[in-house]
Structure 1
């Protein structure tokens, strides 16, 4: 086996490689975080990632069948995979769904492997694993991870992500929209405070645009709400396109738009790298976490790229935690910036392209 030192792979991927003797027959890997893993593996098969950038990289790996998240058409055929590897997702609620997908891909008497980091909660996830595989046992602790294995998995019925979609509502400024949810995407506790503050400014001071782009659109709340507000106030309705990096977000946004009769296209893209087009307004409540760590690099890259997609005089409207250093970044990449609203925790910024 090749040395893993300096490989740059996530700990969970390194732990799997340390135990690659368990990988036999046709492989299905669910939740791949780095395409470099495939180069280290002896076999081929299916590799699924919910991240648009990782999915694109997986598609460059020769004989492997790359899948984007839970709605990829390839998954509709079920599977006959002899070994199915599940990497622990960040959201615990997602693990049950990922295990159900694994079950649907397994051949008769297949082997199921669960790998995850201790700090991400692998110990607490074992109960969920044993609910479908009571025979599962721990086979290794490595790279700050645990590796669990279950033999003799039985074939299950086909997997449909639509069976996991739930619905909630989001209300702001007297306007309510129905919002689709999947594990780890939309909170049925209602709008998060940042999005609410952003929508309140959009009600008081609408963006003057014929077409908008919602960056990091999540479940599509902002676009559906804007159009519902415009309809209620009898003003010209602007289409709102959405873009997000995560498969579940794209699925939910499309469902949300359809339910609320919202107009707009929903794209899957890692940032704006895969997006063409010009908009007269861009709105965003961008994420600032990678796992449990604060990471503003995605938003900084967005601010560098968005100027190529804003028409002259077009507006950027962005909400962020007040402690994040976005004001100087917006000024650097877009131009003069003003604070439209603050509540002590969040700030809504506005800037116009020169």
Structure 2
């Protein structure tokens, strides 16, 4: 609120049910344009590590997430076909796959946070065999499109755990995979994903349990008759 007042000159506020809302009416004569430009510049995509671009506010925006790094190391280099990254984030997982897995034909990244898309474009700028979609992977994953899917699904709504969000990612992935397809995912150790994996896939296994994360691989999605 203090920053908005510094930018816009005047603000109003309302508090109710332990929440606070504040707003302003734009008055061009009162706008601190220097401060506006400073904060816009702070939000610009930036290279956080070699070849990976991010911006404030994205998940793990200023470092490579340890779980994603573990998953990238777990996906075998001989994986092949057309893949997807559900919840593509800044594009790190897809970048690792395109860089190290020469049999992969194409990667599609689905990401619901629109502000992440310019970061994906920068992260994958050296590759040609990919595309991205501004989409909710739980609702717009498609049907029988991919040979494999990788994911580090979100599991928070606000500050609260919401394991159902990751479970919906898994269900959507099962629909989007071809009959012999594979799902590779990383999750915090405590998250209850095994039951839904059993419901959606003919086989699954935990490949690694390290540093508070688990790597799970599922194969051959079940189809409803």
Q: Is the 8 A contact 1:207 1:281 kept in 2?
A: no
* 1:322 matches 2:189: yes
- Match runs of 1:100-179 below 5 Å: 126-138=1-13, 140-151=14-25, 153-154=27-28, 164-169=44-49, 178-179=51-52
Relative CO higher for 1 or 2, CA cutoff 8 Å, sep ≥ 6? Answer: 2
Q: Is the 8 A contact 1:223 1:262 kept in 2?
A: no
User: Given the two structures, how large is their TM-score scaled by the length of structure 2?
Assistant: 0.83
Deviation (angstroms), 1:261: 2.2
Q: Is the 8 A contact 1:227 1:262 kept in 2?
A: no
Q: Partners in 1 of 2:26 and 2:179 — Cα distance? A: 61
The structure with the greater share of residues assigned to helix is: 1
Partner of 2:90: 219
In structure 2, which of residues 166, 174, 192 is the aligned counterpart of residue 299 of structure 1? Answer: 166
Question: 1:326/1:179 Cα in 2 relative to 1: closer, same or farther (>3 Å)?
Answer: same
Q: Partners in 1 of 2:121 and 2:197 — Cα distance? A: 29
Question: 1:207/1:130 Cα in 2 relative to 1: closer, same or farther (>3 Å)?
Answer: farther
Question: 1:308/1:207 Cα in 2 relative to 1: closer, same or farther (>3 Å)?
Answer: farther
Question: 1:180/1:285 Cα in 2 relative to 1: closer, same or farther (>3 Å)?
Answer: same
Q: Which moves more between the two structures, 151-160 or 248-257?
A: 151-160
What secondary structure does 2:20 align onto?
Answer: strand
In structure 1, which of residues 274, 298, 313 is the aligned counterpart of residue 180 of structure 2? Answer: 313
Deviation (angstroms), 1:129: 1.4
* 1:285 matches 2:156: no
Question: 1:286/1:135 Cα in 2 relative to 1: closer, same or farther (>3 Å)?
Answer: same
Name the count of aligned residue pairs.
Answer: 214
Q: Give the gaps of 5 or more residues in structure 2.
A: none
Q: Give the gaps of 5 or more residues in structure 1.
A: 1-125, 170-176
Partner of 1:345: 212
Partner of 2:105: 238
For the pair shown, which has the larger CA radius of gyration, 1 or 2?
1
Partner of 1:69: none
What secondary structure does 1:335 align onto?
Answer: strand
Q: Which moves more between the two structures, 300-309 or 343-352?
A: 300-309
What secondary structure does 1:281 align onto?
Answer: strand
User: Given the two structures, how large is their TM-score scaled by the length of structure 1?
Assistant: 0.55
